[in-house]
Structure 1
Amino acid sequence: MATALKNLSEYNSDNLIPIDGKRFGLVVAEWNKAITDTLCKGAYETLVKHGAKPENIERITVPGSFELTLGAQFLAQSSDIDAVICLGVVIKGETKHDDYICHAVAQGITQVGLKFNKPIIFGLVTTNDEQQAWDRAGGKHGNKGVEAAAAAIQMLGVQLID
């Protein structure tokens, strides 16, 4: 669904499992730091709101969005981490660089999740300009970090269904 039709901070909490014993990893890109820190704050606050203990949330910082994949793998390989949330911002520039970064990150995050059989959440904001990124980091379209944290909790619930 297009972001214009949905607030990223709205989600159905009816199907969220208890997470007081779960451990989460947050991988946050430094590039566009003010925006990624806002995304991270949204994710962190959502996890705590739903019962995650602050000491069970580990944050690592990577240089840019391209490095989210390896950062996710570093956290995912730990048996102590139940889910990893990747947060970054890619803003379109004058070249196709953004296309290559976004594609690589999407593929990489998918591969890490499959390799470690745990939720690795794609919290990458991809926009045409900086204002659109802010609109998705707590602005008029909500906060993608909130959405990513809710997705991580939901995916942990899907794992328990087996």
Structure 2
Amino acid sequence: MASALKNLSEYNSDKLIDASGKRFGLIVAEWNKEITDALCKGAYDTLIKHGALPQNIHRNTVPGSYELPLGAQFLASSQEIDAVICLGVVIKGDTKHDDYINHAVAKGLIDVSLKFNKPVVFGVVTTNDLQQALDRAGGKHGNKGVEAAVAAIHMLSF
């Protein structure tokens, strides 16, 4: 569902498990840092809200969204991590770079998830302009980081 029709920070917590015994890896792209830091805060706060312990949340950074799959693979390969949350932003520009990056990241993350049989969550904001990205990083459409953390917790209930 388009985030214009749903607030990314609103969710039903009935299906979420207690995350206190789970270990999470956050991979955060440094490109568009203002936005990705807001996404990370949303994800972190949501994990804590649902019982995750601070010492069980490991944040790592990569240069940009394109590098998220490799960062995810590094963490997913560890027995010390139960779920990986990947946070980035790709804003459409004058070229088609966003198409190539978004496709590569989505494909890469699903491949890592299936390879290591653990949740690897796509928490990447893909927008047409900066304002739309801000709206999805704690603005009027909520926070994609919250949505990504909820997805990770939900997937750990399987």
TM-score of the pair, normalised by structure 1: 0.97
Residue 44 of structure 1 pairs with residue 55 of structure 2: no
- How far the C-alpha of 1:52 sits from its partner, in A, is 0.2
Residue 84 of structure 1 pairs with residue 84 of structure 2: yes
Matches within 5 A, 1:60-99: 60-99=60-99
Aligned-pair Cα RMSD in Å: 0.4
- What is the alpha-carbon distance in structure 2 between the residues aligned to residue 38 and residue 56 of structure 1? 20
* Counterpart residue number, 2:19: 19
Q: Using the aligned pairs only, state the percent identity.
A: 78
Poorly superposed stretches of 4+, deviation over 2 Å? none
* Counterpart residue number, 2:151: 151
* Counterpart residue number, 1:115: 115
* 3-state SS of 2:150 partner: helix
- How far the C-alpha of 1:2 sits from its partner, in A, is 1.2
* 3-state SS of 1:87 partner: strand
- What is the alpha-carbon distance in structure 1 between the residues aligned to residue 18 and residue 128 of structure 2? 37
In structure 1, list runs of 5 or more residues that go unmatched. none
- How far the C-alpha of 1:4 sits from its partner, in A, is 1.0
- How far the C-alpha of 1:91 sits from its partner, in A, is 0.3
* Counterpart residue number, 2:127: 127
- What is the alpha-carbon distance in structure 1 between the residues aligned to residue 87 and residue 73 of structure 2? 14
Deviations 1:117-144 (A, max 9, x none): 0000000000000000000000000000
- How far the C-alpha of 1:153 sits from its partner, in A, is 0.3
Matched letter for residue 140 of structure 1 = K
In structure 2, list runs of 5 or more residues that go unmatched. none
Number of equivalent positions: 158
- What is the alpha-carbon distance in structure 2 between the residues aligned to residue 69 and residue 113 of structure 1? 10
